[in-house]
């Protein structure tokens, strides 16, 4: 019997050992010619008023490695740095978006973290979103580039800009001590962790936050998923309800973000986008950050989770929210975001369809985009193309 118990306690199942799959919307362009792209961008920048559309067409449809090659060719061709040239030619939302694309995903994350702690005040929302949603590998790379770019240590900057248990949780996460997923399911450890979370929170008066931080920052994601299921056998509340009852403020938001990402990271980003676009004027910064940072990682899956959860496409939602009268997002930046969101479709046709709708359309009176797409695709497109349009 002891041998059976030991076997069940260390039951081996295959999960989590493979690299996390990617679902990018931005992929390397075929027939790529960096010299040709550099020359086109040079002409676009020199055009009176700047040919923004050409810059958008090129930079949103190239992978980061390809954009880097274009920048190299541009500097050789034009005798100036491409980033500096873009800063001089663009402004506002479009400038922010294009400059973001000139960084790799981890460089962009590092830059956003630095900006969130720059000057007076701290943008806790950005800190929580990035640090609580990235895995060990991503956080390790972010720390490396943060050090190279800013000559400072990320953990020291976090410690200087945050305090209390919120700071302790963020610092525990950036230490990247989380266990890697294993083929072995340790049921005894799952039960112990679930009971520890309960006894450190709901069961007692006050909250032993240190125990919560230790478990949430060190255990692997598949393990924690099972811990949260087991937790329900101890507590009258699920883990999210327990967090809301036990802690408040930035610490509450951080723990809830961790749980959301442990359960479904792409759904977390989809919900973040939905919340940002529901707010008055749309939280342009949040929408831009998520789309730029995830377009070469998992934006395609975020897009599908958005439609599954909110019963409408992310493409349509961005179009409606940014076309509303109160939206501050510039038209050119709006087009760039849509280009990043979908790379496998004929953009000129899609954007033409969107731009054919009157600007007075709002979220309360949205254009019937699905019907328009349906009629158009049945008439002009093959089955694969048409089905992807309807999936957006």
Element counts in the chain: helices (H) and strands (E): 23, 0
Helices (H), 326-391: 331-341, 347-355, 369-380, 383-391
* CA–CA distance, 237 with 77 (Å, rounded to integer): 63
Q: What is the pLDDT of residue 130?
A: 98
**Which class for 279: exposed (0-12), middle (13-18), buried (19 or more C-beta within 10 A)?**
exposed
Average the pLDDT over 326-331 and give the result.
Answer: 52
Length of the chain: 392
**Which class for 373: exposed (0-12), middle (13-18), buried (19 or more C-beta within 10 A)?**
buried
Q: What is the pLDDT of residue 323?
A: 59
pLDDT at 67 over 80: yes
* Under 8 Å between Cβ of 322 and 363: no
pLDDT tens column, 262-278: 999 999 999 999 999 88
* CA–CA distance, 43 with 55 (Å, rounded to integer): 10
- Structural domains in the chain plus CATH codes: 34-90 (1.10.220.10), 105-175 (1.10.220.10), 187-263 (1.10.220.10), 266-349 (1.10.220.10)
3-state SS assignment for residue 217: helix
- Between CA 102 and CA 106, with CA 105 as vertex, the angle to 5 degrees is 115
pLDDT confidence of 38, banded at 50, 70, 90? very high
Average the pLDDT over 78-94 and give the result.
Answer: 95
pLDDT tens column, 201-237: 999 999 999 999 999 999 999 999 999 999 999 999 9
Q: From the centroid of its chain, how far is CA 34?
A: 28
Average the pLDDT over 321-331 and give the result.
Answer: 55
Average the pLDDT over 98-108 and give the result.
Answer: 97
pLDDT confidence of 190, banded at 50, 70, 90? very high
């Amino acid at each position: 019997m002891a041998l059976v118990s030991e076997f069940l306690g260390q039951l081996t199942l295959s999960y989590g050992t493979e690299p996390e799959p990617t679902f990018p919307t931005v992929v390397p362009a075929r027939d790529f010619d960096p010299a040709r792209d550099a020359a086109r961008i040079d002409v676009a920048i020199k055009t009176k008023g700047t040919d923004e559309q050409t810059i958008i067409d090129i930079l949103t449809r190239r992978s980061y490695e390809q954009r880097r090659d274009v920048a190299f060719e541009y500097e050789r061709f034009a005798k100036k740095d491409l980033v500096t040239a873009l800063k001089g030619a663009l402004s506002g939302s479009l400038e922010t978006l294009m400059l973001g694309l000139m960084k790799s995903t981890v460089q962009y994350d590092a830059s956003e973290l630095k900006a969130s702690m720059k000057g007076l005040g701290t943008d806790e929302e950005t800190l929580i979103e990035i640090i609580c949603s990235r895995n060990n590998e991503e956080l390790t790379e972010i720390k490396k580039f943060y050090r190279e770019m800013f000559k400072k240590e990320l953990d020291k900057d976090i410690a200087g800009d945050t305090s209390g248990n919120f700071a302790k949780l963020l610092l525990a996460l950036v230490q990247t001590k989380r266990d890697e997923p294993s083929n072995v399911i340790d049921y005894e450890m799952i039960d112990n962790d679930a009971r520890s979370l309960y006894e450190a929170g709901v069961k007692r008066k006050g909250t032993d936050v240190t125990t919560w931080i230790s478990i949430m920052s060190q255990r692997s994601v598949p393990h924690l998923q099972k811990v949260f299921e087991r937790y329900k056998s101890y507590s009258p509340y699920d883990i999210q309800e327990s967090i809301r009852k036990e802690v408040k403020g930035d610490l509450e938001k951080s723990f809830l973000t961790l749980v959301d990402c442990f359960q479904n990271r792409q759904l977390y980003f989809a919900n973040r986008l939905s919340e940002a676009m529901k707010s008055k004027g749309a939280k342009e910064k949040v929408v831009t950050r998520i789309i730029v940072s995830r377009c070469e990682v998992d934006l395609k899956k975020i897009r599908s989770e958005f439609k599954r959860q909110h019963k409408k496409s992310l493409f349509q939602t961005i179009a409606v929210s940014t076309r509303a009268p109160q939206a501050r997002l510039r038209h050119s930046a709006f087009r760039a975001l849509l280009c990043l969101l979908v790379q496998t479709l004929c953009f000129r046709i899609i954007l033409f369809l969107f731009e054919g709708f009157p600007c007075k359309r709002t979220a309360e009176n949205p254009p019937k985009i699905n019907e328009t797409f349906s009629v158009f695709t049945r008439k002009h497109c093959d089955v694969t193309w048409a089905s992807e349009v309807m999936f957006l």
